[in-house]
């Protein structure tokens, strides 16, 4: 979906217009998610772009769609451009993620052990008592 939405339309309540725009976007997303997935695909991923008035569209996260729409409304923009394209999404296997996190934890735990066994801080603690 590539569409320019008008936020200020004559003879229409701006709050109701804003809610109808959000509803239209949610309806499009639900329709895209219902489409049949190809066999090798895990989920539908959405690539989004957003622009206020006549600015150049900027890439945004899927989660930030309504936040950007609300921001455009509060800033008093007359219109905004929204582009939402569904693409194939692939999950990262848990084993790969676990191995990467284990490597990071091992390097962090080595640093912590060095700090705990530091003879200078342990002798200072004993002299204060």
* Residue 118, in any domain of the structure: no
* Residue 6, in any domain of the structure: yes
Nearest CA-CA partner of 77 in 20, 6, 16: 6
- pLDDT of 10 reads 93
CB 88 within 8 A of CB 22: no
CB 7 within 8 A of CB 78: yes
- List, in order, residues 6 or more apart from 2 with CB less than 8 Å away: 81, 82, 83
* Residue 77, in any domain of the structure: yes
Global pTM reads: 0.69
Query: In terms of pLDDT, which residue wins out, 101 or 69?
Result: 69
* Residue 64, in any domain of the structure: yes
* Residue 32, in any domain of the structure: yes
Instruction: List helix spans (H) across the chain.
Output: 14-34, 65-74, 94-116, 119-128
Q: What angle do CA 122, 128, 129 make, to 5 degrees?
A: 100
* Residue 114, in any domain of the structure: no
Containing H/E element for 88? strand 79-89
* Residue 104, in any domain of the structure: no
* Range of the structural domain that residue 70 is part of: 2-89
pLDDT digits (tens, 9 = 90+) for 102-117: 666 665 555 544 444 4
* Residue 38, in any domain of the structure: yes
Cα torsion for 111, 113, 116, 117, to the nearest 10°? -110
- Average pLDDT over the chain reads 84
Q: What's the total number of domains in the chain?
A: 1
């Amino acid at each position: 979906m590539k569409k320019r939405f008008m936020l200020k339309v004559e003879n229409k309540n701006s709050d109701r217009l804003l809610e109808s725009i959000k509803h239209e976007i949610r309806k499009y997303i639900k329709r895209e998610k219902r489409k049949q997935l190809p066999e090798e695909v895990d989920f539908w991923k959405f690539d989004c772009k957003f622009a206020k008035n006549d600015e150049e569209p900027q890439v945004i996260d899927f989660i930030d769609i309504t936040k950007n729409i609300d921001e455009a409304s509060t800033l008093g923009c007359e219109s905004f451009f929204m582009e939402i394209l569904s693409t194939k999404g692939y999950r990262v296997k848990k084993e790969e993620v676990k191995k990467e996190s284990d490597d990071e934890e091992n390097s962090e735990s080595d640093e912590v052990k060095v700090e705990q066994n530091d003879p200078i801080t342990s002798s200072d603690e004993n002299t204060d008592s």
